[in-house]
Structure 1
Amino acid sequence: MDENIHDYEKASLSLEFESRQKYLDELRKQLEVLNNPTNTISSDEMIEQSREWYRIGHTIKGTAPILGMVRMGRVAALFAECWEWSYETNYLSGNDIQSQVQDCYIASRSLLNELQMEFEVNCKELLLEQKQAPLKEVLPSQLLGSRLLVVDDDRVLRSYLARKLRLEGYNVDEASNVETAIKLLKENDYQLITLDLMMHPQSGYEIFEVLKEDPMIKWLPMLVLSGRNDMKDVVRCFRMGADDFVTKPFRYEDLSARIQRMLLRHMEFALMAFNDPLTGIHNRRYFDLQLQVEVNRAQRYNEPLTLVIIDIDFFKAINDKHGHPFGDLVLQKFSHLLQSCLRNTDILARLGGEEFGVILPGITDLEAEQIMNRILEQVRREPIAQHDFFDYFITFSAGISSWNSNKSVQNWFQVVDYTMYKAKCNGRNRVLRTSYGMTRENPADLRLPSEKSITILIADDDRLLRTMLADQFRKKPYKLIEAQDGETAYRILVEDQPDICILDCIMPGMSGFEVLDRLRTEGTRAAKTQIILLSGRSSEEDVQKGLKLGADAYMFKPFSLIDVEMKVSKMLFAARSH
């Protein structure tokens, strides 16, 4: 470890010296521009020259102190202040502009002489000594290889930051303008971006709009660098989504520490928000976001994309026979097996219960079918876990379909989900591939084994909604009963004992919650009846309340009718299977 730190320190010192040398070469060119003004004729040319002088002064102000040239930065700040008026010229006439330029040129001449003197002094100092850089800490192992994007139109500062960050162990890309930055953001996956606000010709604010609108990069941490210590800029940046704001000039050590902390915190938040705590793989929230991301990517590059949904066969029996701790172990072992059989670019998530989703970029449905069959063969052949010193084997059912740009992402997911349940209906322990031809109006017909007459109660005071739901289920041989108030729903639940009850939370007489509470208190609910609670409020508190009172599932309004049908099919199939 000590040797690594020593090597890093030597490399850092060498980089400090080399960066100062390159910066002084760049500064020489900038001073030549300031010392040789163009003989301007028109007011527009005067304005453009004044703005160029302001940009040069503004750049020196931000970069020179970072490389140890603090006094040069102070002088440059005063120089830039002289020419800042050039960005607010709407109220000036041609004669006024000429007079203003003349006055500013006289006022800034002494400052330009000071910049020239500082330049010469720093050149001499560079030949005599290298200032010692402070000892750096070794980058935390979880951050090694993190990919960063440095966006700044100051070539010297951009190169300096990129090279310093690479020395610490990051992978770094550079962009000198907004257009290049946006292109890189869309083509690559980054963990953080540093953004200079004041660039030419577009400002850094343009990138905020891109981040906000693109689901691929909207969660990307952003650290803003600015040469203006303006509270309006700070507030605007934070409101637009910035995670931190640093004013030039800054100490590199401070910037490095901020970047490390932002990356570590983002990793912690992502772990909590997007990972399943039991298996350690991604959760449904992350899966849904990445599904849209991969669809966008597949459309942009015209590449194949395949979705797989996997469900462990007879998992409820595992929990019932061996207990939930062993069921959890099976889920963990199966997750690990899937991960070991997939590529790093594939996206695996636990969608809920014993159901898993896999996104396979660049893979056709035929190739995905071969991959899943190999995994299924391995699962059949090798025990997933041990229980009471006995090997325990499982199987799974999987549905597969490739992306079709003529359909929606939601419909695509439903197609694959239906295909997986069709695999279960056909005997489980198999992989089933389907074309993307099923539509919302023409869903796959999932026939339950040994299907008997099924009764569905639709309890809702909204007559139109009851009619729509009833029409959705009439294409199957179901017996449909309707109730427009809670009292009627309770009576039907007790007397007719339907297989499924779709129960609205808010109804006249008795609410859905009150119906559930009365069924639980009086013990009159039939064992076979499964209840889907409907709510117009997206409230986690309502969900927990409904589930505690005995609801089997929860759906928020508005919902698609096919989602309700799919939910009912799953519940009925699970009930018959177990």
Structure 2
Amino acid sequence: MPIFTKKLIYFVTPNLDGFNELGRQLQFFGFEYQVFDRNSALLAALYTEKPCIVVMDEVGMTDSTAIQCLPLLTKLFNGPIFLANFGIDIGKQLEYLRSGVSDFISYPINLQTLIDRLDQLEEHEHIQPYKVLLVDDSDTVAKWASTVLSGAGMVVKHLADPLKVIGWLERFNPDILLLDVYMPQCQGDEIAKLIRQRAQFDSIPIVFLSTETHRGKQLMARSMGGDDFLVKNMDADELVAAVSITAERYRTLRRWMTRDSLTGLLNHTNVVESLAREVARAHKESRQLSYAMVDIDHFKLINDQYGHSVGDRVIKSLSRLLKQSMPNPDAVGRYGGEEFALIWTDHTQIRAAQRTDELRVLFNGLAQSNADGHFVATFSAGVAQLEDGMSAQDLIDAADQALYQAKAAGRNQVGLAPKR
């Protein structure tokens, strides 16, 4: 069943106060929660509304142990069940696994660790279907391949004219390009060579699809920029497997190439490229565009006082808050260190500043954990609006100057760049 249709967590524990505090912190990241200390209340709630996950104390509840509760719980709920524990041996873990527990999480429960696990579950649940651009002048072959791949859950776009491939690569943004070798207008390897001359398409795998069986000619075609060679009369299951394996491998590589390893946000290069695209679009279509630079206050002091691992958790907590609050994943990135970039499309400067300030207030409410307890981290921000004649770099410089002014004025606030 889809487990993240609603971000609702059920906590099962005799310790209501501790889990209520954890739940309140999770609310900052868009989760809802309910805490149950009695078996009857939990089972009644499951009949009414299913959560995305159940987190159960190893003690169980006030009226039943975890082992006693699990059989009926698993009949009513087939989603993930985490067991929070102080450390149990492998024999006990096996007993819990056989009773329906899917994973274990250690006490004391660290907010960031729990969210990491929830993120992994959500990403697995929301894997996007592979997008395949098929370039082949044969309607018969194209129909067969499209039917096979679409039947496997992929999104397929067939293009009969190879001379239009560049435009469709930009618009469709496929995970993989299937390219016929022999076409009336040109050879597939010629098109592959042209594609490989454009850096923005480096991460798209090109797989030749042809009746050619001569190994030397296949290798020659691949030397022009192809990544693999498939024969057209191959088995349907083999086609699905070959396309899936290649598309998944390159999707993973693309993620590592474009995303920051700590936060999963766009890295510096790619968030700047995303901003440049939005600037060009805003100028062309006369649309509003604002940009915010966000910087965690006194971050060096956090690292010096609590250690770099705590500093990393502060960065991750802010990155999650920003990612969940922005309109799309390409609208936020880690600019560098403790700095983040927010692209506010169709926003005036005032509206973008208001939205950024709402995020500032939310971040202030997060309890950041360390070895001795909790502390509060804050951020400052600068917001600039795109004006006629401004480039992406001009917009970045204006927001950066506004950020500097916000820090000079006392930090933990949002500064506005003056109009030119």
- Counterparts of 1:69-468 in structure 2, within 5 Å, are 144-205=128-189, 207-208=191-192, 211-212=195-196, 214=198, 216-229=200-213, 234-235=218-219, 237-298=221-282, 303-380=287-364, 382-387=365-370, 390-403=373-386, 406-434=389-417, 437=420
Write out per-residue CA displacement over residues 115-166 of structure 1, whole angstroms, 9 at most, x where no aligned residue.
xxxxxxxxxxxxxxxxxxxxxxxxx977652222122121121122112111
Cα distance, 1:354 vs structure 2: 0.9
The alpha-carbon distance between structure 1 residues 400 and 159, as it changes in their structure 2 partners (threshold 3 A), is farther
The alpha-carbon distance between structure 1 residues 203 and 367, as it changes in their structure 2 partners (threshold 3 A), is farther
Consecutive unaligned residues in structure 2, runs of 5 or more: 2-123
The alpha-carbon distance between structure 1 residues 207 and 296, as it changes in their structure 2 partners (threshold 3 A), is farther
Consecutive unaligned residues in structure 1, runs of 5 or more: 2-139, 438-578
What is the aligned partner in structure 2 of residue 543 from structure 1?
Answer: none
The alpha-carbon distance between structure 1 residues 383 and 296, as it changes in their structure 2 partners (threshold 3 A), is same
What secondary structure sits across from 1:158 in the alignment? helix
What is the aligned partner in structure 2 of residue 460 from structure 1?
Answer: none
The alpha-carbon distance between structure 1 residues 245 and 288, as it changes in their structure 2 partners (threshold 3 A), is farther
The alpha-carbon distance between structure 1 residues 212 and 327, as it changes in their structure 2 partners (threshold 3 A), is same
The alpha-carbon distance between structure 1 residues 215 and 419, as it changes in their structure 2 partners (threshold 3 A), is farther
Cα distance, 1:312 vs structure 2: 0.4
- Separation (CA, whole Å) in 1 of partners of 2:366 and 2:382: 23
Contact 1:412 1:436 in 2 (8 A): no
- Separation (CA, whole Å) in 2 of partners of 1:178 and 1:270: 24
- Separation (CA, whole Å) in 2 of partners of 1:347 and 1:265: 25
- Separation (CA, whole Å) in 2 of partners of 1:149 and 1:166: 12
Higher helix proportion:
1
Give 1 or 2 for the bigger CA radius of gyration.
Answer: 1
Which residue identity is paired with 1:241?
A: G
- Separation (CA, whole Å) in 1 of partners of 2:290 and 2:221: 38
Q: CA RMSD in A?
A: 3.1
What secondary structure sits across from 1:350 in the alignment? strand
The alpha-carbon distance between structure 1 residues 169 and 356, as it changes in their structure 2 partners (threshold 3 A), is same
- Separation (CA, whole Å) in 2 of partners of 1:302 and 1:181: 28
Contact 1:222 1:242 in 2 (8 A): yes
Give the TM-score normalised by the residue count of structure 1: 0.46
Cα distance, 1:290 vs structure 2: 3.3
What percentage of residue pairs aligned between the two structures are identical? 28
Contact 1:295 1:305 in 2 (8 A): yes
Higher strand proportion:
2
Contact 2:181 2:208 in 1 (8 A): yes
Contact 2:203 2:254 in 1 (8 A): no
Cα distance, 1:404 vs structure 2: 5.1
Cα distance, 1:207 vs structure 2: 4.3
